[in-house]
Chains A and B, each alone.
Chain A
């Protein structure tokens, strides 16, 4: 089963369980994947039809199914893009003379369709690494290799889109700005409007088409940036703290958008994002780099980083009303290695022979009051607390 078929199956399930909101978004993704004007028009007409019809209406589901069939017929003939390496860094270092901070060495590799999460506390080099990757800074030493074609450095930078935490102000209506972007990228006049309509619908911006920058909330500004990025068809998207200032629901939506955009079977792109929202980033990313004082720490061994800080013990973060000594009394019997209190939560390290189920059994057997727990043995979270 190809990647497309797998994703299409997922869409069929959305249809089966009447999950129309996500299905509509994914239909737009597939429409954009076709890169065909006729599909743009059909889906756009469909979106207009949806605006005036209720889910309870007869034939509602069939309309979706019909559209999916049309898209499937076209896309099943298209070649699935091969996941090539986009960028590779080797022993990349950047030292600032002004404050003495130094990043690196960082070695990493990013392929098409991959999301790389950069995590770490403030001032540990996440933004510096993003700026190095997008060409906004030169490295002090080491190497960055881009494995895609470009004519000159400007052309290279036009294929690397960096969205900073504080995005630049833009003027005029959102729709005009997006049409300007589309026209600048050579979309034909006829498809320009349709494409922009589809992309703003994809990112939930339809209601805000005539809004100006100052009238949009942080979340919608971020979505606008994503819409613009989608029109620019970059090789790599580098995005700094996209989840900052977003509520939890908006964070999940944006991350889901990243996944869908990056993992298009036909137009995959690489995404590097930095965030403090550790769990959300880990959930979405294919690989995570933790930066501590500018030094790279990887969870897993890779060809670029054979020295991964692997964890064989069971590390659990949990919240309980018991005191540290009460908890220690219980877990010491099971060979507890350490128990740290970390501002409201406990981090316990248990021997490798105890699984997470074993941990749960101890908790149940000893009736330990448990408000929350999470296995962080394979999470960069343990880098934060250790």
Chain B
């Protein structure tokens, strides 16, 4: 099938044939599906296990980079086989722009395997329960945590001699409670921006002594635990009896967050292992795993940062490879070495001046020099000379040019003012220009991408003209 498609493209669209677009896109699609499936499999939650440090993401990203490199190596062998531009074939002025856009597409498809992985993983996690159901369950687990061992919300004040004041209290809904009250425990901190209407305030129920509601919550909690095959050693009645003592809620049995044990050591020798708490519930596992569910529902499937990273990486790679096609291997390699040297100079300057502005001005000035040199050669009826190197460096600095300007303007308007507030705190202010730039960073990133594409539209026509200059 590939052969037939390639044959069709060869006579109908030589550019697509030359760029091996169909095999390249198919390759990318297959690997996107593979990475999606790996992500989907990896998104499975084992509710009976505690969350452990997971290195799968790192391994998958490593392999995605490996696949990307492998693809580019193989693809370039075929892509660079034919070069109509280098052979001075009759090309329309927009030919190189089309070629670069296709190159950008290929780069985009082949540097974004991790996106498919993350998407697969997120969708798998989300597939367990709907958003509303996840919220409802997190709410129950959150409410239940008040009746299970957890930290106090308000830290008990410490006396000057370092002891706690046993009589210290805190206020909830106009009522004072001792610090050791269950009212001082608000439970798990799920990664959820709670909607008040959907979030039960267990403390309010406790204050109203709504035992039915509290018991229902406990019943629901145990049902969730049962659904996941998790066990505790109390039922609703027992749990309620052990922990619920209206109105102050200061008398309660500590319920463990799991079947934890501790070792009894006497004279430096382990004597026995006994449960830490007499009663326990599977709170640790539920909280851990529902935290994963909550997080995957709250964060976007593809975070903005990942989109920016992939877009800029593709943009950077596309101009990097395009430079090879536009000039020649000699200029390309010299440009890479030249860039390395320029970075070394930058490092030395950064050490001497210790200023971010110097770094920004340095790169902006260099970009201006490369661009000027290229256009002087192009319109000065001179031979190519070293302009191939200037062209490469100009192309490579193109995606970074406006961000450098942005950074410089930010630096210029970065004037921090510290203002003491009546309540004793300090508020930090910056200039409106700085704040505006900071607030519109996302928009700027997309505008820059559009401008780079537009600039490439112009530059590719100039590169075509440049190609026709005499050699040095």
Contacts and interface: CB of A to CB of B under 8 A. Distances in A.
Interface string B1-42: 000000000111110011000000000000000000000000
Interface in A82-103: none
Interface residues of A, number: 30
B81 A171 contact: yes
B11 A137 contact: no
A176 interface: yes
Contacts of B18: 180
Interface stretch (B88-96, B113-121, B206-214, B248-256): B88-96
B149 to A, nearest CB: 71
Contacts of B469: 153
Interface string B72-86: 000000000110100
Contacts of A181: 89
B470 interface: yes
B57 interface: no
Contacts of A179: 10-11
A211 to B, nearest CB: 15
Interface stretch (B181-189, B220-228, B334-342, B460-468): B460-468
Contacts of B84: 180, 184
B383 interface: yes
Contacts of A158: 88-91
Interface string A149-180: 00011111110010000001011100011011
Interface string B413-441: 00000000000000000000000000000
A344 B59 CA distance: 77
Contact of B468 (A156, A177, A184, A186): A156
B11 A189 contact: yes
Interface band, chain B: 20 to 34
B71 to A, nearest CB: 19
Contact of B10 (A136, A170, A183): A183
A194 to B, nearest CB: 11
Interface string B436-472: 0000000000000000000000000000110111110
A221 to B, nearest CB: 15
B10 A154 contact: no
Given A158-B91, A180-B18, A192-B11, A172 B81 contact: yes
Instruction: Determine chain A's interface SS by DSSP, over half rule.
Output: helix
Given A172-B81, A180-B10, A184-B84, A232 B90 contact: yes
A147 to B, nearest CB: 18
Contacts of A180: 10, 14, 17-18, 82, 84
A177 B465 contact: no
A219 interface: no
Contact of A152 (B14, B87, B89, B468): B468
Contacts of B82: 170-172, 177, 180
Contact of A138 (B383, B465, B467): B383
A193 interface: yes
B176 to A, nearest CB: 85
B20 to A, nearest CB: 11
A49 interface: no
A148 interface: no
26 contacts: A136-B470, A136-B471, A137-B383, A137-B470, A138-B381, A138-B382, A138-B383, A152-B468, A157-B88, A157-B468, A158-B88, A158-B89, A170-B81, A172-B81, A180-B14, A180-B17, A180-B82, A183-B11, A183-B17, A184-B89, A184-B90, A184-B91, A185-B89, A186-B90, A189-B11, A232-B89
Interface of A: 135-138, 152-158, 161, 168, 170-172, 176-177, 179-186, 189, 192-193, 232
Given A170-B82, A184-B84, 8 more contacts: A154-B91, A154-B465, A158-B90, A168-B87, A170-B81, A171-B81, A176-B10, A189-B11
